[in-house]
Structure 1
Amino acid sequence: MEGRIAIVTGSNSGFGLLSVLELAQIGFNVMATMRDPIQSEDLLLQAGKLGVEHNIHIHQLDVTSEESIHNFARFLSKIGKIDLLLNNAGYAGGGFAEEVSIEEYREQFETNVFGVMRITQLVLPFMREQGNGKIINMSSISGRIGFPGLSPYVSSKHALEGYSESLRIEMRPFGVDVHLIEPGSYQTRIWTSGKKVSSRSLEKNSPYSFYMKAINAEIEAGTKSLGDPVEVANVVRDLALNKNRNFRIPVGKGIRLILLIKSILPWRIIEHIILKNLRIK
């Protein structure tokens, strides 16, 4: 591969897919990775419409599989250069703390935290020896403030934020930039689909069923105001072009206000506001 080279994990949909397209359009050769390359059909279709399919290279990569990572590492050794890494692979696990199993928590961290660490360790030697590079970690507003019924996801994103802070300081002397993107609500279906919510929390006889109903109602009411995920991909593009040098980049409607409120109000007031919005006494 010639020119600038980028790696994007979780490229088959959402922020990952859109970011691959943005990076390809500004001249990057993008290694678009995903657990199942068969799911690349939509990405390649959109790339073809934009005329950038020649800049996109599909690779199998499961960030939770040592074998998959080892195979990808062997491929990277042949390239010998990496300019940008977007750690995007992840999912949102939900459920109430009493009902989420430790195994479910562990599964969440394997993807959202340890997966990021594994792939980052692959690219750091390349970037360090080059004396430059850019690592972008896809966090969330949930990495800055907790919400009920989302402790697996919230915990993993808080861990990612702490890891990224340390990583940024460590890599500054080597010319490697580290950034965190913190999106708000963007077209997610973790509650409506139920696929990543702890099964116990979905049972009708759960003692937290009133909470689940309130959260579902809040999400349903806010679906019309969800942002366009292209906004997040545009942030990735701007970071790649060095148009944004901030460490943390919150993006989405009302996100900056939420962060401002958290920075100035005591937690007892914040939790009162959250419960009031959910109409829970």
Structure 2
Amino acid sequence: MKKVALITGASAGIGKATAKQLLQDGYIVYGAARRLDKMDDIVSLGARALKMDVADDADMVSGIDKIIKAEGRIDVLVNNAGFGSYGAVEDVAIADAKYQLEVNVFGLARLSQLVLPHMRAQHSGKIINVTSIGGKMATPMGGWYHASKFAVEGLSDSLRLEVKQFGIDVILIEPGGIKTEWGDIAFNSMKKVSGKTAYKHLVAKTSAIVGKAEKNASDPSVIADLIKKAINAKKPKARYSAGYMSGPVLFLKKWLSDGLFDKMLMSQLK
């Protein structure tokens, strides 16, 4: 029996690369995104496309219902959908901050709630939550994005402890710099929100550093391979990380004091 996987945010970047990887591995893959036309290439490879906005409960309920009616099971949920809305904490409208959390945290949590009864009935399943090294450290201008990723880290740790008894694994994937459209969205937002405020000089410095980093960013396939590794592991680790600067950043964050880490980070913005 082929295993069934649902991947959110499958219209681009990590989600699309993961869909291609799991299709190659023989999975029945459902790709979910708001933009159906952006998934034509993975549909041509055999994926099933679902129109799903993870900020819309009806969309999520309908999507899971369709999968269960068609396949009778769901083995893997890859919670990949998310975005970064950058800008100084002082400048970002609270409504926009709430939407950031709605997509990055509550959408992920709701889909997990919806698949868990089916995974418990099977006594098997894997929930893969894609966070970021930005769930372990924070940069200026990314407060609400980092808040969402820190939240997913904590939520996943609790969920992992709760559902292990049912044969279900909860795994965090923490990418470093990856070549996706995420950066353009995040930093265009930063310029729009804070580019003409008291934080404009920090915006300019941050943009310059980000431009350099994007040139060295890793291909999304690096994370797709990591997700495959996590899924196939008999005893998966709680966390996996890969991508540009993920290793050095997580190492320094672990061993440096907050003060030293802050100094190191801000020295890059001079």
TM-score class, shorter-chain normalisation, is over 0.9
> SS of 1:99's equivalent?
coil
CA distance in 2, matches of 1:179, 1:234: 14
| TM-score under structure 2 length normalisation | 0.94
Match of 2:39 in 1: 40
Paired with 1:152 and 1:136, the residues of 2 have a C-alpha distance of 22
- After superposition, residues 1-281 of structure 1 pair within 5 angstroms as 3-44=2-43, 48=44, 53-54=45-46, 56-78=47-69, 79-189=71-181, 192=184, 194-197=187-190, 199-203=192-196, 206-242=197-233, 245-279=236-270
Equivalent position SS for 1:32: strand
- Of 72-81 and 180-189, deviating more is 72-81
How far has the Cα of 1:37 moved from its partner? 1.4
- CA distance in 2 between counterparts of 1:7 and 1:213 reads 39
Contact between 1:171 and 1:177, CA under 8 Å: does it hold in 2?
yes
Range moving further from structure 2, 242-251 or 154-163: 242-251
User: d(CA) in 2 for partners of 1:263 and 1:240?
Assistant: 26
Shift of 1:127: 0.6
Cα deviation, residue 239, structure 1: 1.9
Q: How many residues align?
A: 268
Distance 1:190 1:40 in 2: 17
Q: Structure 2: how far apart are the matches of 1:38 and 1:265?
A: 46
Q: Which runs of 5+ in 1 are unaligned?
A: none
% identity of equivalent residues = 32
Query: Following TM superposition, by how much is the alpha carbon of 1:235 offset from its aligned partner in structure 2, in angstroms?
Result: 0.7
Displacement of 1:253: 3.1
Root-mean-square deviation (CA), in Å? Answer: 1.7
Cα distance, 1:190 vs structure 2: 5.2
Q: CA separation in 1, counterparts of 2:150 and 2:213?
A: 24
